[in-house]
Structure 1
């Protein structure tokens, strides 16, 4: 993780997303830009959180780790959003893990400052309510997807999110990890890969996957793990223009 000390860049982002409308001056004064490299962890489930984050750009993979050690993919972040609402309101450790799929830029504000300034600041509290409501709706939607959609569709959505608009994917996660993320078994995951390969959607060689039919992959994927929260009543992008 690197800290970006470009004050003017930070101010431009604050203005772009109208964050001064929901943050106090103390919170803005304590904010800093941080850059996470590809595959670097941002949050680790069940570990203390010291910052509230606004995700600005890049891509994050957000997943839960359950008591049995299995992980379940929640979604990929690729549009402006935040991390830490639940932890801030409940003084709780991180409820999920987040890893940068590609280099990602975030704003972070110390919880110490947040607790002093934000808990009695109605604009920020209204933001938290809207954000949590939208994320609850997204979680319900993802749960329904995992119950109702075939493994082939879930895998397609995972590959679509990982592709970053390129044809070649180099998988970082193991097959076991991917099967856990999308809520299936190792054997069913292999079967889904075989189905996509036999139908000409992908060509898989080890951990390298060539997307041969982008339109078909997108059709199968839908928006399973890339839900745009603005489409389900999320905040109005903080007044962003």
Structure 2
């Protein structure tokens, strides 16, 4: 399937295709095992039993990644925007269930690279194999940090992690869930959550207006997670 010039430019900027020759990317994008799909708002992209053994890259729109916790509540793991990669959890294994639910937050467009194509990509272009290993390593670090913060982190650490994963820097954006649901997702009391918001606001790293939050300084906010 032929990608537009803008879509090709986006692929070149992703971590998967870092330092990969442009001609190689063009050949990959022209493969029959490369497919573009469109999704409507709130439609399921990947679910427990609805997924494909493919690597996806978001071309347009935003996706929400959630996972149910022991209490039956959907815990938001991250928000994926243009250039984000997903699908590695099911790419090279025989599991019959996908680990998370991925939902389109609005009209979205995604390019999928099949398992067979990804295998060929890594065999014939070592740089892609290196990039993929680095991507997996970063995902392991991300998930390890998530586990630590949600099990042992303070309310400020949990909130900082959530905001960095789900709120863009520099613009006032509505929180993806009500505060009562957020307190359940982060496994903290509502009082602790309110105090965490107050602490981050007083420190100047975020601003909060009702249901909307703006990250003023992402680098300073990351320091709360250490």
> Could you state the TM-score of these two structures normalised by the residue count of structure 2?
0.65
**Cα deviations across residues 185-214 of structure 1 (Å, max 9, x unaligned)?**
444324433545677753443xx2354x82
- Distance in 2, Cα, partners of 1:26 & 1:220: 37
Change (3 A) 1:97 1:149: same
Paired residue secondary structure (2:137) = helix
| Aligned equivalent of 1:47, options 49, 52, 56 | 49
Gaps of at least 5 residues in structure 1 are: 225-241
- Number of residue-to-residue matches in the alignment: 212
The 10-residue stretch of structure 1 (155-164 or 14-23) with the greater mean CA deviation from structure 2: 14-23
| Aligned equivalent of 2:86, options 77, 83, 99 | 83
1:51-66 to 2 correspondences below 5 Å? 51-56=54-59, 59-66=62-69
Kept in 2: contact 1:169–1:210 (CA 8 A): yes
| Aligned equivalent of 2:142, options 127, 138, 142 | 138
Kept in 2: contact 1:54–1:82 (CA 8 A): yes
Shift of 1:89: 1.3
Shift of 1:59: 4.4
| Aligned equivalent of 2:207, options 196, 202, 206 | 202
Gaps of at least 5 residues in structure 2 are: none
Kept in 2: contact 1:74–1:139 (CA 8 A): no
Looking at both structures, which has the greater relative contact order when contacts are Cα pairs under 8 Å and sequence separation is at least 6?
A: 1
Kept in 1: contact 2:174–2:213 (CA 8 A): no
Q: Provide the aligned C-alpha RMSD in A.
A: 4.2
- Distance in 1, Cα, partners of 2:105 & 2:158: 18
- Distance in 1, Cα, partners of 2:158 & 2:185: 10
- Distance in 2, Cα, partners of 1:42 & 1:85: 14
Kept in 2: contact 1:10–1:33 (CA 8 A): no
1:68-147 to 2 correspondences below 5 Å? 68-78=71-81, 80-92=83-95, 93-100=97-104, 104-109=108-113, 111=114, 114-115=115-116, 117-119=117-119, 122=123, 128-147=132-151
Paired residue secondary structure (2:67) = strand
| Aligned equivalent of 2:193, options 164, 185, 189 | 189
Shift of 1:61: 3.6
Shift of 1:155: 1.9
Change (3 A) 1:10 1:160: closer
In the alignment, does 2:191 pair up with 1:164?
no
